[in-house]
Amino acid sequence: MSIDHRAGAHGERSVGNTAGSSDLAPTREQLAAMSHAELDMLGARLDDTEVVVLSNPPPPGSIAEKRAERQVALCFGLATLFAFAFVIVFWGAGWFLPDWEYDVGGSAFGALFTPLLGLTMGSALAFLGIGIVLWAKKLMPHEVATQGRHGGASDPVDAQTAGGTIMAGFARTGLARHNIVRRSLLGAGGALGLLALVPLGGLIKKPGRELVETSWEAGVRLLRDDGTPVRPADMLPGSLETVFPAVERGNRQADAATMLIRLRREQVDQIQAPPGQEDFAWEDYLAFSKVCTHAGCPVSLYEQETGRILCPCHQSQFIVTEGARPVFGPAARALPQLPIELDDEGYFVARSDYPEPVGPSFWNREK
C-alpha cells in the first residue's frame, strides 16, 4: 500500500502488485478538490475496503433526532451532576457536611460517606458510558465494512529488500569485525543477566531444622497470649486456652501455637492415647498443636461435648480423647500432642518439643 502512496508522490515509479489500485490513484489536483468524505472513501477503495451503510441516523431536524439528542444530553448532564456531587461529598465532608470519619454511634453520614463516594463516581462514569453508547446507536450511521483478502506470501522483492535492510544494518554496526567490542558487550550482557538472577537467591534457602522444630522444649512454660502462665486451677472442665511458649515473642510464632484443653470429667475415662503418648497428658489436661496437619489453618473450633476439634478451612475433625486422631475431612495425620507437666511453682510447662513436626506435610518429613 505504501508503495502506491510513494508512486503518487513521485509520479515516476509504478511498482507493486496492488491490483486495480494504481489506476485509481488521483492526481494532486484531484486530491485537492476532494471533500473529507470523498477522501475517506478513496482511502477505503485503495485498501480494497467496501463500506455498506445499513441504516442512516434520523434526518436532521426530525423529531426522532431531537429525541435522541435529548436522551444523550440527559445522560451527559446526569454524569456532570454526579461528578459534581462526588466533589461536593469529598470536599464538603468535615467542612459544611458532617465529618466523614466513622464513629461508633456517630452520625449516619460517617457510615454513608464511602458508599456515597462510590455511588456518585460510579453513576457519573456509568451515565457517561450510557450517553456515548446511546449517541453511537441513535445519532450515527450504522455501517459494515468489508475488506478484500490479500495474497499469502509477500512479494519476493519486498522480502529480499527487507532481509537486505536487516543484514546491511548489522554489517554497518561492524560487530563482526570489532572483536573486542563484541566480546566486551557479551561480557556485559552476561554479567547483567547474573545480576538479575541474584534476587532469586533470596527465595532459595535451606530450611534447616525450622520445619521440624518449634520453640517448645523441656521446662518452657505455657503462656497465654497476654504472657501469663497457666495453673491447673485456672481452667474449668470443658474449656480451651490457646497457649504459646515462654520465649521471646513466643505468641507471634505461628508454629508454636498450642491448644491447652481440659476435658470434661466423663471424657477422662474415654482417653485412648496413641502408643508412646500415654503420659503426654497431665490428668485431665491435654495440649495439641493448633496448626492443622492438612493445610496449616488454625484449628480451634473446639466442641467440648463431643471432644472434637474442627478446622474451619476444609472441615477436618480431630477427636481429642484419641490423641487428636482425624475422624473427618482431608487431614490424614493426628494433631501433634505436646507433653506437659507442672513445674515447681505449679504452672504448666512442656516436657519436650512436639514429638513430630507440626503442620502440613512437606517433602522430607519422616512420617
Partner 1 sequence: MTLSKPESGAARRRRRRLRRKLSRAAALLATLIVTGGLYAAMAPGSVAEDAADSNAVEAGRELYEQSCITCHGSNLEGVSDRGPSLIGVGEASVFFQVSTGRMPLARQGEQAFRGPVTFTDDEIDQLMAYIQANGGGPTLPSGDLRDGELAAGGELFRLNCASCHNFAGRGGALSSGKNAPNLSEASDLQMYAAMLSGPSNMPVFGDNQLTPEEKRAIINYVQTLAESTDPGGLGIGRAGPVPEGVVIWLLGMGVLLIGVFWIGSKA
* Contact pattern from residue 110 through residue 139 relative to partner 1, giving x for each residue in contact according to CB under 8 A and a dash for the rest: xx-xxx--x----------x---x---xx-
Query: Is there binding between residue 102 and partner 1 (CB under 8 A)?
Result: yes
Q: Any residues with CB less than 8 A from the CB of 217 and at least 6 apart, and which? A: 350, 352, 353
Contact 318, 325 (CB under 8 A): yes
State the Cα angle at 364 between 361 and 367, rounded to 5°: 60
Query: Is there binding between residue 300 and partner 1 (CB under 8 A)?
Result: yes
Query: Is there binding between residue 314 and partner 1 (CB under 8 A)?
Result: no
Q: How far is the CB of 226 from partner 1 (least distance, A)?
A: 9
Query: Is there binding between residue 303 and partner 1 (CB under 8 A)?
Result: yes
- Give, in order, the Cα–Cα distances in Å from 43 to each of 21, 34, 37, 46, 157: 10, 12, 10, 5, 25
Which residue in the set 280, 282, 302, 348 belongs to the binding site for partner 1 (CB under 8 A)? Answer: 302
Q: Any residues with CB less than 8 A from the CB of 59 and at least 6 apart, and which? A: 65
Q: Any residues with CB less than 8 A from the CB of 8 and at least 6 apart, and which? A: 25, 26
- Binding segment for partner 1 among 24-32, 83-91, 206-214, 302-310 (CB under 8 A)? 302-310
CA atoms within 13 A on the CB side of 268: 11
Cα 309 vs. chain centroid, distance in angstroms?
Answer: 32
* Contact pattern from residue 48 through residue 77 relative to partner 1, giving x for each residue in contact according to CB under 8 A and a dash for the rest: -------x----------------------
Which residue in the set 293, 317, 321, 337 belongs to the binding site for partner 1 (CB under 8 A)? Answer: 317
Cα gap 270→284, rounded to integer Å: 11
Cα gap 233→242, rounded to integer Å: 16
Q: Of 49 and 114, which has the nearer Cβ to partner 1?
A: 114
Query: Is there binding between residue 283 and partner 1 (CB under 8 A)?
Result: no
Q: Any residues with CB less than 8 A from the CB of 220 and at least 6 apart, and which? A: 245, 246, 247, 349, 350
* Contact pattern from residue 141 through residue 170 relative to partner 1, giving x for each residue in contact according to CB under 8 A and a dash for the rest: -x----------------------------
Q: Of 158 and 283, which has the nearer Cβ to partner 1?
A: 283
- Binding segment for partner 1 among 31-39, 80-88, 149-157, 305-313 (CB under 8 A)? 305-313
Contact 309, 299 (CB under 8 A): yes
Chain positions contacting partner 1, by CB under 8 A: 55, 102, 104-105, 108, 110-111, 113-115, 118, 129, 133, 137-138, 142, 225, 231, 233-242, 298, 300-306, 308, 310, 312, 315, 317, 328
